Chains A and B, each alone.
Chain A
């Protein structure tokens, strides 16, 4: 009897410290804060524009944000380096355990954290429990664009309606395209063959995407760099995004 296909578990099954499959390394010394990744991500993933009023009230829906903080009192102000933050695709994701309807689950194949829009009922508990505040919610039907604008949507990605949660997927549609291509040609995915929109758009190549389980890949090497840190690593979430620490930019850098 053929063994039954394994049903994906709600959370990570691997041990702490294991690398995971796909990962990102971001060099904060290279990032110029140009926001090209934000724009590219929004276009690739059909992230809607919420308008000036709602954006001002904290309802922006961009899946990636470029963080920058200022330290100290004027005029002695130091700017922290630019830090693009997206879903960290945690190995032990706090968002997954709290969803009452399994709308956010861990995928066996890609080992990333999936958001199943069709299953989401909008309790927003996952967003509260995300230490990186990486999730955004469709407060309204923001994607109801007037007719010529609706043609800009990417046909590979769902358009979400009101009342569901969403977040960065590491451009899973691109991962699938590349793995399908590689499978058809009977080989493994080559390093650099698949890039999420943010990495593709980055003019400084500050964002590097690749396989963490391949020790020869660029992202694996960068993740073991001596400058490598992970966000809120002490929480034990096992994030799959590595940051390469940058220096301060001096006065108002």
Chain B
């Protein structure tokens, strides 16, 4: 029998332990580690204004990529024709639609995560809701670019706007593309308002702490917010309405995106489960993107190491794991129901997915969307490792890209006329245009980080006021007050 030779714990050591526990709590949780309000405001202002030369080098490179790869290539394609892209018959749609759905998916989760966590009063949300909401707006801009690039005659895109006109033409509200157009515009408007509302107090804070052109712009944007009781009450009511209302809007909008495919008469597309499958797919890619964005701003911006902590990585990692399980469930459902249907064309398509020339993409999708998150994100230490979490987020986005790739160009190769089944698919000018939209997204985010407070500092202050550590005997206990 082994003999334990450790010293007996005594009263003093226990007190020391309890003290450690409290320090650990404060180190771990932003809400328990309060700073004076003035100091927080100054930190956020400084994170916006302290710009190193490296920032401008990166921004310059991105701007060149945007100018050449996005607008240059796109302009060339507009003047030459869509033959520069990899489309043919039967692959009438291809990477532009893949990338539209990709960006719409990413954008949906930004506002969704923020609204969901706000509705459920999840306290760790406070420092990164705005980073997620900004992602929505900028990713939707990229989705718009992709869908316009997809059009054969983009210079007539305004024909899709339902505005009274002297052409005596109206739009076809029976078309899923029309639903899609209206739904995405609704979402853009709603999410931009939802982004702007909690921004108002921070803009007022910035207005009171800046000079020059910044002050004049902030003065206009802050809408004369002074922080009176009535203003706060109105803001809270409006935020509450928007946070609740935007959740069903998000679900309906991405369901409508899925209807572009689900209502079409095609094997592999006309699947009744596509609505929730697309919604969970959007969350899968979007939450992973929120994780990536949060990690990047944590390590590149000044003072962000105070606001964004390991607890946030941990929480986002858990969310990614849960959503990955949800995605696997819906993927299985979709596959199972299509296979069980027994339609011979669908059978041929499912076989083509796995064993066709793009079969490796199908398997890569399952590995990066399911296997890797499930293996990595179980582990608390791994979730809290920024490099690992960033890599998993990136891989999930690669997997979600692959999912849309399987749905659009790969599924289009199989139709009901076997004479025109395709095998060949070459990506063309879509590749530089996609790289251009990625660069544009990052560039917009970088420029916004110089101008908008990326941390909703009033929400952090509110949370820190509500939290305190009480002692019950020797044990520190976290207590949260209900402020609203």
8 contacts between A and B (CB under 8 A): A59-B88, A68-B419, A101-B159, A102-B171, A121-B156, A124-B92, A132-B417, A133-B415
Is B4 on the interface with A (CB-CB < 8 A)?
no
Chain A nearest CB from B260 CB (Å) reads 8
B residues in contact with A59, CB < 8 Å:
83, 88-89
Q: Is the CB of A119 within 8 A of B159?
A: yes
Against A, the Cβ 8 Å flags (1 = close, 0 = not) of B152-184 are 111011011000000001111011111001000
Chain B nearest CB from A62 CB (Å) reads 11
Q: Is the CB of A101 within 8 A of B171?
A: yes
Instruction: Please measure, in the bound complex, the distance between the C-alpha atom of A98 and the C-alpha atom of B160, giving whole angstroms.
Output: 13
Against A, the Cβ 8 Å flags (1 = close, 0 = not) of B241-282 are 000000000000000000010001110000000000000000
Is A246 on the interface with B (CB-CB < 8 A)?
no
Binding-face segment, A134-142, A180-188, A193-201, A204-212: A134-142
- Give A90-125 interface residues, CB cut-off 8 Å to B: 94, 97-102, 119-125
- The SS class assigned to the B binding surface is loop
- Can you name the residue of chain A whose Cβ is closest to the Cβ of B412? A128
Is A155 on the interface with B (CB-CB < 8 A)?
no
B residues in contact with A129, CB < 8 Å:
264-266
- Can you name the residue of chain A whose Cβ is closest to the Cβ of B417? A133
Q: Is the CB of B93 within 8 A of A101?
A: no
Is B82 on the interface with A (CB-CB < 8 A)?
yes
Known pairs A98-B264, A119-B159, A132-B416; list 10 more (Cβ under 8 Å). Answer: A10-B174, A65-B420, A94-B264, A97-B174, A120-B152, A122-B82, A123-B152, A129-B265, A132-B417, A162-B82
Is B90 on the interface with A (CB-CB < 8 A)?
yes
Q: Is the CB of B265 within 8 A of A138?
A: no
Q: Is the CB of B175 within 8 A of A121?
A: no
Instruction: Please measure, in the bound complex, the distance between the C-alpha atom of A85 and the C-alpha atom of B169, giving whole angstroms.
Output: 32
Q: Is the CB of B81 within 8 A of A164?
A: no
Q: Is the CB of A57 within 8 A of B88?
A: yes
Against A, the Cβ 8 Å flags (1 = close, 0 = not) of B128-156 are 00000000000000000000001111101
B residues in contact with A101, CB < 8 Å:
159-160, 169, 171-172
A residues in contact with B309, CB < 8 Å:
none
Is B305 on the interface with A (CB-CB < 8 A)?
no
Instruction: Please measure, in the bound complex, the distance between the C-alpha atom of A69 and the C-alpha atom of B417, giving whole angstroms.
Output: 10
Contacts A69-B418, A131-B415: A102 and B83 contacting too (C-beta < 8 A)?
A: no
Chain B nearest CB from A160 CB (Å) reads 11
A residues in contact with B418, CB < 8 Å:
69
Is B482 on the interface with A (CB-CB < 8 A)?
no
Contact of A121 among B157, B260, B419, B420 (CB under 8 A): B157
Q: Is the CB of B150 within 8 A of A123?
A: yes
A residues in contact with B484, CB < 8 Å:
none
Chain B nearest CB from A59 CB (Å) reads 5
Contacts A121-B157, A128-B266, A140-B81: A100 and B178 contacting too (C-beta < 8 A)?
A: yes
Contact of B172 among A102, A127, A128 (CB under 8 A): A102
Q: Is the CB of B175 within 8 A of A163?
A: no
- Give B171-221 interface residues, CB cut-off 8 Å to A: 171-172, 174-178, 181
B residues in contact with A123, CB < 8 Å:
150-152, 177
Q: Considering the complex of A and B, which 10 residue pairs feature the smallest CB-CB distances, nearest first?
A: A122-B152, A163-B152, A140-B81, A58-B88, A139-B83, A163-B153, A162-B81, A67-B419, A100-B175, A140-B83
Is A235 on the interface with B (CB-CB < 8 A)?
yes
Q: Is the CB of B88 within 8 A of A99?
A: no
B residues in contact with A150, CB < 8 Å:
none
Instruction: Please measure, in the bound complex, the distance between the C-alpha atom of A197 and the C-alpha atom of B324, giving whole angstroms.
Output: 57
Is B10 on the interface with A (CB-CB < 8 A)?
no
Is A16 on the interface with B (CB-CB < 8 A)?
no
Chain A nearest CB from B384 CB (Å) reads 45
Chain A nearest CB from B270 CB (Å) reads 10
A residues in contact with B80, CB < 8 Å:
140
Chain B nearest CB from A12 CB (Å) reads 13
Against A, the Cβ 8 Å flags (1 = close, 0 = not) of B386-428 are 0000000000000000000000000010011111101010100
Q: Is the CB of A97 within 8 A of B415?
A: no
Is A232 on the interface with B (CB-CB < 8 A)?
yes
Chain B nearest CB from A201 CB (Å) reads 21
- The SS class assigned to the A binding surface is loop
Instruction: Please measure, in the bound complex, the distance between the C-alpha atom of A53 and the C-alpha atom of B207, giving whole angstroms.
Output: 61
Interface size class of A (residues with CB under 8 A): 35 or more
A residues in contact with B169, CB < 8 Å:
101-102, 119
Chain B nearest CB from A48 CB (Å) reads 12
Contact of A141 among B81, B181, B424 (CB under 8 A): B81
Q: Is the CB of A65 within 8 A of B419?
A: yes
- Can you name the residue of chain A whose Cβ is closest to the Cβ of B156? A121
Chain A nearest CB from B198 CB (Å) reads 35
Contacts A119-B169, A121-B156: A131 and B265 contacting too (C-beta < 8 A)?
A: yes
Contact of B152 among A69, A132, A137 (CB under 8 A): A137
B residues in contact with A164, CB < 8 Å:
152-153
- Give A44-77 interface residues, CB cut-off 8 Å to B: 54, 57-60, 65, 67-69
Is B87 on the interface with A (CB-CB < 8 A)?
yes
Instruction: Please measure, in the bound complex, the distance between the C-alpha atom of A132 and the C-alpha atom of B419, giving whole angstroms.
Output: 10
Instruction: Please measure, in the bound complex, the distance between the C-alpha atom of A65 and the C-alpha atom of B177, giving whole angstroms.
Output: 29
Chain A nearest CB from B400 CB (Å) reads 22
Instruction: Please measure, in the bound complex, the distance between the C-alpha atom of A196 and the C-alpha atom of B178, giving whole angstroms.
Output: 35
Contact of A97 among B90, B175, B417, B422 (CB under 8 A): B175
Q: Is the CB of A136 within 8 A of B89?
A: yes
A residues in contact with B159, CB < 8 Å:
101, 119, 121
Contact of B92 among A69, A127, A162, A232 (CB under 8 A): A127
Q: Is the CB of A10 within 8 A of B172?
A: yes
Instruction: Please measure, in the bound complex, the distance between the C-alpha atom of A57 and the C-alpha atom of B94, giving whole angstroms.
Output: 14
Contacts A100-B172, A123-B150, A137-B92: A163 and B82 contacting too (C-beta < 8 A)?
A: yes
Chain A nearest CB from B484 CB (Å) reads 44
Instruction: Please measure, in the bound complex, the distance between the C-alpha atom of A204 and the C-alpha atom of B87, giving whole angstroms.
Output: 36
A residues in contact with B151, CB < 8 Å:
121-123, 163
Instruction: Please measure, in the bound complex, the distance between the C-alpha atom of A119 and the C-alpha atom of B153, giving whole angstroms.
Output: 10
Q: Is the CB of B93 within 8 A of A128?
A: yes
A residues in contact with B91, CB < 8 Å:
58
Instruction: Please measure, in the bound complex, the distance between the C-alpha atom of A139 and the C-alpha atom of B159, giving whole angstroms.
Output: 20
Contact of B177 among A125, A137, A141 (CB under 8 A): A125
Instruction: Please measure, in the bound complex, the distance between the C-alpha atom of A232 and the C-alpha atom of B175, giving whole angstroms.
Output: 23
Q: Is the CB of B264 within 8 A of A57?
A: no
Q: Is the CB of B82 within 8 A of A128?
A: no
- Can you name the residue of chain B whose Cβ is closest to the Cβ of A162? B81
Q: Is the CB of A140 within 8 A of B177?
A: no
Chain B nearest CB from A110 CB (Å) reads 21
A residues in contact with B175, CB < 8 Å:
97-100, 125
